[in-house]
Amino acid sequence: MKVRRYTTQKVAFAIITAAAVGVVIPLVLVLAYIVVQGIGVVKWEFISAMPRGGMREGGILPALVGTIWLTIGTAVTSIPLGVGGGIYLSEYAPDNSLTRTIRMAIINLAGVPSVVYGLFGLGLFVIFLRFGMSIIAGSLTLGIMTLPVIISTTEQALRGVPQSFRVVNASLGGTTWQGIRRVTLRQAIPGIMTGIILGLERAAGETAPILFTVAAFFLPRLPHSVFDQTMALPYHLFVISTQVPGMPIQIQYGTALVLLVFVLTMNVLATLIRRYYRRRRQW
Amino acid sequence: MPRKAKDLDWREFFIEQLIRLMGVSAVALVLLIFLFLVREGVPALFEVPLSNLLGQRWYPTFDIYGLLPLILGSLLVTIGAIALSLPLGLATAVFIREIAPDWVREVLKPSIEIIAGIPSVVIGFIGIQLVSPLVRQFSGAPTGLTALTGVLLLAYMALPTIISIAEDALDAVPESYRHAAYALSATQWQTIWRVVLPAARPGIITAVMLGVGRAIGETMTVMMVAGNAARMPLGWDAFLRPVRTMTATIAAEMGEVARGSTHYHVLFVVGLALFLLTFVINLAAALSIFRERRGGGGRFLA
């Protein structure tokens, strides 16, 4: 009997371990494959030149610059509102039905499909507010999509700060806001930064929300203002991998590689910040 | 020069109101999204008879707007994806929380965050380049761009959501439950299977629901790899044929329709349906979280 119990355990653990390995192996293989296939074309010219010859030659500069603009625009629109919302939920919100409604709203914002954000951005920013297809319309759409991530991570980071910090602030005659600005928020900054970077990472890689709000199929010049349309890396990858016949495969892999590096650098940065501060934290 | 107390009061009041406004803005945004979907979508209900909208064929060029094939397409790939990713994700969560040595955990957790961070368009690209040729080879179907291809990739994309929430659920099971099981001479596996997993069930259900929400809302990947044929996905070989989801329909067609046309309004109706669908799923997930919190086990959204 005893032997059989442990045999069952061995079999079960073997299956579970295989499942976990099976989750990670494709990731490693695919990342390695994209690097091997794409690294050949990713030279300085590829990221610094305009596309030529129906995008089959030249570089991806306008798409890269467009994605940088959109990422900055997303940061500008989502950080103040997101951090503010997180502060409210952690430091001010009483336990009442309004607060529960806000929490429900945030959960639902987080679950709205990205293409529906695209429709919303089209209806509100592009048409109703007459921004047209523009960086500002795309940034606002991506910013709203990113909001729930920043709100919840900010709230969690602030809640991680021990209550004694707030008590000490109050005992020294500090007001609530003084306590937040000088004590709690400063302690929570690493956690908030991590959340912001992860949110921006997701926004930078999104395609569906920018389809109808900003992304241009082919526009070989750099944007001059936030009211310009622009190309963007994720949409560019979609275009060259599905819409352009006879597209050289290396350019497709090269573009995928640049997009992955752009996005995963942010991912790694967030992980490093979290690790570094967790180790240094005194409480 | 210290500020006067009165100034400080005024400042405190102002800042508090501003921050409250920022908190409430989340509710305003949900309402605003709903409002604009309704505003652009409702005209369709006057322009297209309901029998047409509920039909089985989607041919916008001939003013035939049957939503059924799109809805069934979304359901087919979502159910397929969850059926694949739930066992895999749950097993991985159990591995991470209960079995893996520390150093393996340190490698696995960031890897799973990286999977979550890969843009969906890159997954779609990989699907076209690597997965769809495999599907064609093994299934003998005339094309590799099928519902099955979409299912495989969506399952992979739903994994991070399912793993991280299931892991939280396992983590929330008090350690004393495990000790009690060991004291009764249960093996580690018996403890996991008969004690830990049942105790974590509400959280696992939440993981499934959020995974469903993620899969049903995914756009670029399914548009790129699932073949995009708006046909009723019925019959035994439905998985081996091209399929069209609600999300892919919006993404593929919105760029080409005239603003204010019937087709345009119908696409907003599809968006509204998606919004309401995910709203209900997420609300249900949230309620199960709140219920569990009251029970004292969970620590989500704490």
Show the DSSP H helices in chain A as ranges.
2-38, 44-48, 61-87, 97-111, 114-121, 135-159, 163-171, 176-179, 185-205, 233-242, 249-280
Helix (H) or strand (E) holding A40: none
Task: Report phi then psi at B67, rounded to 5.
Answer: -85, -10
What's the full length of chain B, in residues?
A: 302
pLDDT tens-digit readout, B185-201: 999 999 999 999 999 99
What is the spatial distance between Cα A62 and Cα A50, in angstroms, rounded to a whole number?
Answer: 7
What is the fold, at CATH topology level, of the domain defined by A44-280?
MetI-like fold (1.10.3720)
Q: Are B42 and B214 in contact (CB under 8 A)?
A: no
What is the spatial distance between Cα A208 and Cα A215, in angstroms, rounded to a whole number?
Answer: 10
Low-confidence ranges of chain B (pLDDT < 50): 1, 294-302
User: A195 in contact with B at a CB cutoff of 8 Å?
Assistant: no
Rg (CA), chain B: 24
Helices A233-242 & A249-280, crossing angle to 10 degrees? 150
Q: Contacts of residue A120 in chain B, CB cutoff 8 Å?
A: 32-33, 36-37
Domain ranges of chain A: 44-280
Prediction ipTM score: 0.93
Per-residue model confidence (pLDDT) at position B3: 55
Domains with residue ranges and CATH for chain B: 50-295 (1.10.3720.10)
B116 to chain A, closest Cα gap in Å:
9
CA atoms within 13 A on the CB side of A99: 13
Chain centre to alpha carbon of residue B145: 22
Closest CA to B168 of B82, B59, B76, B94: B94
User: B297 in contact with A at a CB cutoff of 8 Å?
Assistant: no
Closest CA to B231 of B82, B71, B124, B81: B71
Per-residue model confidence (pLDDT) at position B7: 66
Per-residue model confidence (pLDDT) at position B289: 66
pLDDT tens-digit readout, A121-130: 999 999 999 9
pLDDT tens-digit readout, B5-58: 666 688 889 999 999 999 999 999 999 999 999 999 999 999 999 999 998 999
| Contact assignment for B19 to A271 by CB distance below 8 Å | no
Query: Side chain identity at A186, as an amino acid letter?
Result: R
User: B74 in contact with A at a CB cutoff of 8 Å?
Assistant: no
B122 to chain A, closest Cα gap in Å:
6
Per-residue model confidence (pLDDT) at position B300: 37
User: A250 in contact with B at a CB cutoff of 8 Å?
Assistant: no
What is the spatial distance between Cα B213 and Cα B220, in angstroms, rounded to a whole number?
Answer: 15
| Contact assignment for A84 to B22 by CB distance below 8 Å | yes
Of A102, A115, A204, the CB nearest to B26: A102
Per-residue model confidence (pLDDT) at position B235: 79
Probe site for chain B from A103, A116, A175 (most B CB atoms < 10 A): A116
User: Residue B35: which residues within 8 A CB-CB, separation 6 or more?
Assistant: none
Of B15, B108, B125, the CB nearest to A256: B125
B5 to chain A, closest Cα gap in Å:
11
Query: Side chain identity at A180, as an amino acid letter?
Result: I
User: A104 in contact with B at a CB cutoff of 8 Å?
Assistant: yes
